[in-house]
């Protein structure tokens, strides 16, 4: 199984568009959501292969949304990668405890985004 | 001093209900306060920080460390181990729990733990083996959970800290 479709959850339009643009140019299908709640709602109707999740968002934050995703039988296998300005070690450890598969600190590069998509895709192939 | 009104802890309208449906839960998060395992509510916001800058408030009890600025909101910071066991928490980690006006931060010695396959227990608070539950928190226990061979307690943080906020002034 390879990664084809990605869900980007971020309340900041610029960040959403930036990650979306990087992924579209690389040939991935992209869906977006502006909050944790909207992200979870999207998962009721579609099953992305990967989720890029901001942490600090109004309403349900990224940690909470990730907990919901990894605690749900239907969505627990979808890898979540945090993309956040919260990039300290403590954030990465706490993110891992929420079940996240990766953490990219803002500002990020195109290589970092595509690199982690490839890395997680490779992990999924190995697991299958 | 009307400090607790300023930090909005005295409102008692939003006491959280216990999750007592009796079914096994996939996972929850908990932290240790000395020997006491305290489990966090599933739905509450949780964020962990290290080395936050706390502004101490004069003439308050030492278990109330002060307030810190979380993205523009002043959050009260408590040392729960000092409050319950008269023993200072030495760690530099802080967990911020809940959201909005109920948000508080607690100093921790270690990272919170991921508790997979945690089950509600029928055990009564007075019958817990090897766990001395301090009287000051006993009445606020909502539910006892079992994770492997350990017991974890879920407590009503809002009511607990609202009650203790009455004694926050050092003179009281």
User: Residue A54: which of A32, A75, A72, A71 has the closest Cα?
Assistant: A32
| Contact across the interface for B47 and A94, Cβ inside 8 Å | yes
| Contact across the interface for B111 and A93, Cβ inside 8 Å | yes
Helix (H, G, I), strand (E, B) or coil at B45: coil
Which segments in chain A show pLDDT lower than 70?
1, 128
User: For A87-99, how does the pLDDT look when each residue is reduced to its tens digit (9 = 90+)?
Assistant: 899 999 999 999 9
The residue whose two tokens read 């869906």 is A31
Helix (H, G, I), strand (E, B) or coil at A99: coil
Give the chain B residue whose CA is nearest to the CA of A73: B26
Separation of alpha carbons A94 and A44, rounded Å: 26
Q: Is A92 on the interface with B (CB under 8 A)?
A: no
A55 within 8 A of A62, measured Cβ to Cβ: yes
Which of B43, B45, B114 minimises the CB distance to A97? B114
Q: Is B47 on the interface with A (CB under 8 A)?
A: yes
- Range of weakest confidence among B11-15, B65-69, B95-99: B11-15
Across the range B35-63, mean pLDDT stands at: 91
Which DSSP category does B40 fall into? P
Q: Is B49 on the interface with A (CB under 8 A)?
A: yes
Separation of alpha carbons B71 and B83, rounded Å: 27
User: For B67-80, how does the pLDDT look when each residue is reduced to its tens digit (9 = 90+)?
Assistant: 999 999 999 999 99
CA separation, residue B90 to residues A114, B10, B111, B113, B125 (Å):
41, 28, 13, 18, 28
A39 within 8 A of A9, measured Cβ to Cβ: yes
pTM of the model: 0.84
A116 within 8 A of A52, measured Cβ to Cβ: no
Q: Is B112 on the interface with A (CB under 8 A)?
A: yes
| Phi and psi at residue B63, to the nearest 5° | -75, -10
């Amino acid at each position: 199984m390879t990664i084809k479709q990605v869900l980007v959850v971020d309340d900041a339009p610029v960040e959403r568009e930036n990650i979306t643009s990087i992924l579209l140019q690389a040939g991935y299908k992209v869906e977006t959501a502006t909050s944790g709640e909207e992200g979870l709602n999207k998962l009721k109707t579609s099953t992305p292969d990967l989720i890029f999740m901001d942490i600090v968002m109004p309403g349900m934050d990224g940690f909470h949304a990730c907990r919901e995703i990894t605690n749900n039988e239907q969505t627990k296998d979808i890898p979540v990668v945090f993309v956040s300005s919260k990039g300290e070690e403590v954030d990465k450890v706490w993110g891992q405890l929420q079940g996240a598969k990766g953490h990219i600190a803002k500002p990020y590069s195109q290589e970092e985004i595509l690199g982690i998509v490839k890395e997680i895709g490779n992990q999924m192939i190995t697991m299958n | 001093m009307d400090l607790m009104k300023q930090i909005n802890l005295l409102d008692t309208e939003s006491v959280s209900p216990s999750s007592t449906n009796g079914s096994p839960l996939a996972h929850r998060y908990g932290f240790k306060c000395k020997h006491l395992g305290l489990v966090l509510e599933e739905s509450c916001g949780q964020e962990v920080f290290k080395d936050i800058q706390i502004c101490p408030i004069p003439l308050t009890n030492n278990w109330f460390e002060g307030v810190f600025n979380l993205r523009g909101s002043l959050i009260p910071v408590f040392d729960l181990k000092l409050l319950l066991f008269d023993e200072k928490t030495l760690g530099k980690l802080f967990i911020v729990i809940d959201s909005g006006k109920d948000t508080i931060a607690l100093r921790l010695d270690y990272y919170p733990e991921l508790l997979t396959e945690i089950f509600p227990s029928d055990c009564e608070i007075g019958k817990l083996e090897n766990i001395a539950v301090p009287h000051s928190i006993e009445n606020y226990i909502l539910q006892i959970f079992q994770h492997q061979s350990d017991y974890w307690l879920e407590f009503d943080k809002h009511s607990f800290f609202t009650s203790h906020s009455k004694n926050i002034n050092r003179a009281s």
